[in-house]
């Protein structure tokens, strides 16, 4: 665990199409506001490679008013933090519009800012922690071992997870090149460490650590506005660009 606060980028993923279960519950209670799932990431420079978004089927999420025009879907814990960080029009106050089970969000379609595939599906991830970030994780299987392991498991057991296989059909996208692992750092590490499931917590933690260090210190961008630049520089620039365009919010905890 880091000692200081973690500086996340809260990526705003606009709803493109609700799931049937979510539509009735949410549309009636948001007063016409545009709703965004907000994903907390420490790797904003990887957002080009989003293939889907993850929520936990066992977490309860809330929909919170940002102002008269927008609402954020995240955990109530994250909304409370955002309120004190000045994210909402009413500082220090949380205005919850409704709540919904994560399970009911599966299969909805959202907009993924900066992504090569701008529209992606929401899929289940059982290992999302309720007390970290926003409870929403955007999936970049090229560079996140957790995301890759979960996506492969969903593809193998689509029926068990009650998902339509087409929702998990987008393949990992090359975003960053590293000297040791090439353009598919996470898939290479998952194979190398013989990780078979998202529940292989120990090797996954090791793969995550290796992927993070290798990407940060030795990675070069393969796509986007900062193509050819070192990840260390692009990381800050992508974050600033997303914040300036209103596609993300700063989020710390």
- Residue 240, CA atoms < 13 Å, CB-side half-sphere: 7
Query: What CA dihedral angle connects 219, 6, 68 and 16, to 10 degrees?
Result: 40
CB of 158 to ligand A2H, least distance (A): 21
Residue nearest to ligand A2H (CB): 133
CB of 198 to ligand A2H, least distance (A): 11
In the bound state with ligand A2H, the residue whose beta carbon lies nearer, of 41 and 178, is 41
In the bound state with ligand A2H, the residue whose beta carbon lies nearer, of 30 and 39, is 39
Cβ atoms of 155 and 168 within 8 Å: the answer is yes
In the bound state with ligand A2H, the residue whose beta carbon lies nearer, of 15 and 112, is 112
In the bound state with ligand A2H, the residue whose beta carbon lies nearer, of 23 and 57, is 57
Residues that bind ligand A2H (CB under 6 A): 6, 40-43, 46, 128-129, 132-133, 135, 137-140, 143-144, 147, 208, 212
CB of 156 to ligand A2H, least distance (A): 20
CB of 117 to ligand A2H, least distance (A): 14
Angle at 8 between CA 7 and CA 11, to 5 degrees: 150
Those residues with Cβ within 8 angstroms of residue 168's Cβ, 6 or more apart along the chain or in another chain: 52, 121, 123, 151, 154, 155, 158
CB of 69 to ligand A2H, least distance (A): 26
In the bound state with ligand A2H, the residue whose beta carbon lies nearer, of 30 and 204, is 204
In the bound state with ligand A2H, the residue whose beta carbon lies nearer, of 70 and 147, is 147
Angle at 53 between CA 112 and CA 232, to 5 degrees: 65
What are the C-alpha distances in Å from 125 to residues 4, 14, 190, 214?
Answer: 27, 20, 17, 25
CB of 28 to ligand A2H, least distance (A): 28
């Amino acid at each position: 665990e880091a000692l200081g606060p973690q500086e996340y980028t809260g990526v705003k993923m606009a709803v493109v199409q609700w799931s049937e279960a979510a539509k009735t519950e949410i549309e009636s209670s948001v007063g016409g506001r545009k709703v965004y799932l907000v994903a907390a990431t420490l790797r904003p420079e990887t957002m080009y490679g989003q293939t889907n978004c993850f929520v936990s089927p066992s977490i309860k999420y809330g929909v919170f008013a940002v102002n008269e025009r927008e609402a954020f879907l995240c955990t109530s814990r994250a909304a409370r933090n955002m309120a004190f960080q000045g994210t909402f029009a009413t500082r220090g106050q949380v205005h919850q519009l409704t709540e919904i089970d994560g399970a009911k969000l599966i299969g909805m379609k959202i907009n993924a800012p900066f992504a090569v595939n701008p529209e992606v599906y929401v899929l289940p991830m059982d290992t999302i922690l309720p007390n970290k970030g926003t409870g929403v994780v955007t999936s970049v299987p090229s560079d996140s071992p957790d995301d890759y392991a979960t996506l492969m498991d969903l593809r193998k057991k689509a029926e068990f997870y009650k998902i339509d296989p087409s929702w998990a059909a987008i393949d990992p996208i090359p975003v960053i090149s590293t000297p040791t692992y090439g353009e598919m750092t996470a898939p290479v590490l998952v194979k190398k460490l013989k990780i078979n499931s998202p529940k292989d917590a120990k090797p996954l933690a090791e793969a995550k650590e290796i992927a993070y260090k290798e990407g940060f210190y030795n990675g070069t961008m393969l796509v986007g506005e900062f193509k050819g630049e070192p990840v260390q520089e692009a990381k800050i620039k992508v974050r600033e660009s997303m914040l300036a365009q209103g596609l993300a919010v700063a989020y710390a905890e």
